[in-house]
Every structure is written in C-alpha cells, then in structure tokens.
C-alpha cells in the first residue's frame, strides 16, 4: 500500500519490475545508468533512515477538512477551483521510494464514503465550479470494482463532472492489468466522461514493449495520457537523459505536463537536487532544439499551497542557513477561502496586502548520492 501505519514504508516491487531490473543488470551491467534508474526508484535505500527534523510526513503541511450533509467528507482534497481529488484506495503495484504519499496514513474509502464524496462533488455549492475530478491513491487501476463504483457514483450524483483524471503507474509496473475488462469499463463510461491518465515515468528505460502496448490499447478507445514526474538525483538529473525522455513521450503521444522538484518528504534527501539545479535543466530543455517544443514540461514545486511553476524570478528570498527559499505564487488567499472555507493557512505562508501568497520551501542539495551516503556513514 502507498502509506504506512508504522512509519516504515516497506519495499514492494511487482514481479514485472523485478524481471525488468534483472534484465537491465544482465543487459547493461551492475554499474549502468539504466539499472541505477530502476534500483533507485524501487529498492529501499539505507539513506531513507537519514531523517532531518525539518522534513515532514505530508507534502501539504495543512490538513484539509471538508464537511457536507453534517459529516466529514472522507478521502477528498480541494486546493483548486475547478478540481477535486478523490482517493478511493491506497493499494499500488509497487512502492516508488520517492512517493509523496509514502508516509501518509493508510486509508481506503468505503462505498458509502465514495457515494458521499460524489454527492459533495455534485452539490449546489460546487456544481458551478467543479468540472473535473482527479482519482488517485494509491493506484486506482489496481481495483477495477472500486474504480467502476466511483465512476458510477460520479455519473449519478455529479453530472457537472465531465473530465476524470486518474493517477496511475500500472502501465509501467504491472501492464497486464490493462486487459479487456478494463477497456470495456472505460468504453462504457464514454462519451459521458473524458478520461485522462496521469502517469509518472521518469527514465527512458521504462518504455518497455509491454508498457507501450498497454498504453496504446487505452489510447485506442480514447483515453488520453499525460506525464508528470520528479527530478530524481542519479536517475534523470542530467540533460541528455531528459532530452531522450521527453522525445519518447512525444513519440508515444503522452503529454509532458510537470517536471517536479522532488518534494521535501522525510527520508528523501538523497533523491532531491537543489531547486537551482532544476532551473538550470529546465532552462536548457526549453532552449534546446533537440525535440519538439510541444513536449517540453513546466518545472514546478509542490508547495504548502499547491503547485508553483518556477522561473528564476520566482525565488523572492533565500535563507541558506535554513536551506529555505521564499517562492512567489499565483495563489490568492481570499480566493482559496471561497473555494474551501475550512482551509488553514500553513505557517510557511506569507500573505501580502493584496491577498497574494508567498511560501517558504525546503531546498535540496547538489551533493551526489555517494557523498550523502559517505556523510551518513560517518
């Protein structure tokens, strides 16, 4: 499950991925970047035990509490005007070591919870604004009955929802799950819903033939794909890898959405570059002529108030001693309170006189994984 009861995010690698890791070692060797790209994503590293007090268990520090019809709405988040997020299951095919929900409490929605959430999405207070639902977890494609039920309830209780986005890594972790039953389910809900699947593919090696075939089956029935993924130290934090990666996304008709700075979750410092390193790479990507401009991503951070697309002037202030950056955002406090009156301003947020919000963000470092390991050992 993506989540932990004990604080120990256990290693979980699907049989498909284990076979691909063994294949990479045999084909390219133990010290190859191809093998390293898979091992660092899925094999538990002792550096995960290196936890600093300023790191956290959640990527959003503030809890979001929503009540509807006299009781809390379970498994729902809302930070943006037109979109809400529903998390029906915490089950995944594999545990990505950089998972932003790895330290979340394990929580699976009941059918009653899902119905209640769908009624909330279609309520009089929301129906004029909410046109889009992101179903995530966990991985919604791991439980077809639960996903089908969620879609049925949205169809019945929230006719204002036209776009359904699903966050999944199943095509890259267990592609056999994309079978006839899944295709029939998606086809049965079209044209009422426009389906988009957001994947997290991080390195060119992950475009295996089985994966590409699974994606093409879904694309053939009208499902769209987009990719958003973290910048991971020692995996994809070099220009050559990213150029090849985004070229492949274009080849396979997967929209490039966000390139994220790896989030400041506890035990993840060995995955995180500095924000400046990401800006250098994003600038080089946007300026190069190596692949189509239609495939170029936006570089962003997941801050306490939501996603912030970064440019060099997005950094308002630096506190090197605290390894912190003050970031300019496009979010407005008054608007946020209109969309979600229960939202609580995190301590990291600065509200200006015009209501615009700035937020402090924990930076990463440019030390290599090997340097971090040596420091940890000493």
What is residue 40's DSSP assignment? H
Give residue 6's pLDDT: 55
Q: pLDDT at position 3, please?
A: 54
pLDDT at 313: 85
pLDDT at 305: 87
Tell me which residue of 303, 323, 302, 327 sits closest to 314, measured CA to CA: 327
pLDDT given for residue 1 in this prediction = 45
pTM attached to this predicted model: 0.88
Neighbour-count burial for 255-286, b at 16+ CB within 10 Å, e otherwise: bbbbbbbbbbbbbbbbbbbbbbbbbebbeebe
CB-CB contact of 261 with 301 (8 Å): yes
Residues ≥6 apart with Cβ < 8 Å to 308: 300, 301, 314, 327, 328, 329, 330, 359
Domain boundaries, the chain: 15-265
Class of residue 230 by CB neighbours under 10 A (exposed 0-12, middle 13-18, buried 19+): buried
Report the candidate in 217, 215, 173, 151 with the shortest Cα–Cα distance to residue 42: 173
To which residue do tokens 């204002």 refer? 160
Mean pLDDT by groups of 10 residues along the chain of 378 residues = 63 97 97 97 93 68 71 88 92 91 76 97 95 94 96 97 98 98 96 96 98 98 97 96 96 96 89 96 87 90 90 91 93 89 90 95 90 78
Cis peptide upstream of residue 44 (ω within 30 degrees of 0): no
In CATH, which of 3.20.20.70, 1.10.760.10, 3.10.450.50, 3.20.20.80 is domain 15-265? 3.20.20.70
- Looking at residue 2, its pLDDT comes to 56
Could you tell me which residues are beta bridge partners of residue 306? Answer: 303
Rg value, the chain, Cα: 20
């Amino acid at each position: 499950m993506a989540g932990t009861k004990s604080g120990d995010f256990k290693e979980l690698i699907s049989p498909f991925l284990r076979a691909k890791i063994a294949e990479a070692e045999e084909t390219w060797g133990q010290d190859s970047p191809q093998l390293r790209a898979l091992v660092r994503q899925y094999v538990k590293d002792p550096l995960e035990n290196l936890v600093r007090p300023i790191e956290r268990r959640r990527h959003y520090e503030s809890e979001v509490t929503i009540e509807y019809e006299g009781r809390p709405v379970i498994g729902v988040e809302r930070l943006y005007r037109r979109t809400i997020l529903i998390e029906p299951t915490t089950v995944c095919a594999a545990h990505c070591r950089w998972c932003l929900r790895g330290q979340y409490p394990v929580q699976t929605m009941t059918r009653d919870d899902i119905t209640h959430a769908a009624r909330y999405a279609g309520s009089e207070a929301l129906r004029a604004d909410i046109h889009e639902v992101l179903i995530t977890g966990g991985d919604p494609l791991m439980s077809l009955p639960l996903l089908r039920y969620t879609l049925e309830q949205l169809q019945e209780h929230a006719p204002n929802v036209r776009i359904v986005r699903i966050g999944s890594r199943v095509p890259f972790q267990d592609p056999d799950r994309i079978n006839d039953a899944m295709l029939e389910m998606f086809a049965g809900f079209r044209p009422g819903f426009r389906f988009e699947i957001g994947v997290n593919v991080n390195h060119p090696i992950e475009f295996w033939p089985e994966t590409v075939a699974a994606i093409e089956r879904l694309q053939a029935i009208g499902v769209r794909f987009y990719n958003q993924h973290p910048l991971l130290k020692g995996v994809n934090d070099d220009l050559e890898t990213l150029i090849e990666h985004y070229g492949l996304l274009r080849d396979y008709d997967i929209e490039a959405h966000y390139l994220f700075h790896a989030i400041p979750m506890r035990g993840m410092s060995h995955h995180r570059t500095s924000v400046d390193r990401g800006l250098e790479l994003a600038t080089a990507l946007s300026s190069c002529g190596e692949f189509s401009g239609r495939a170029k991503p936006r570089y962003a951070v997941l801050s306490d108030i939501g996603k912030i697309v970064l440019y060099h002037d997005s950094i308002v202030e630096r506190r090197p001693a605290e390894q912190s950056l003050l970031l300019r955002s496009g979010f407005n406090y008054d608007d946020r309170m209109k969309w979600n009156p229960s939202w609580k301003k995190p301590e990291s947020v600065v509200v200006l006189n015009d209501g615009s919000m700035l937020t402090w963000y924990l930076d990463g470092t440019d030390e290599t994984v090997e340097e971090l390991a040596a420091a940890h050992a000493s």
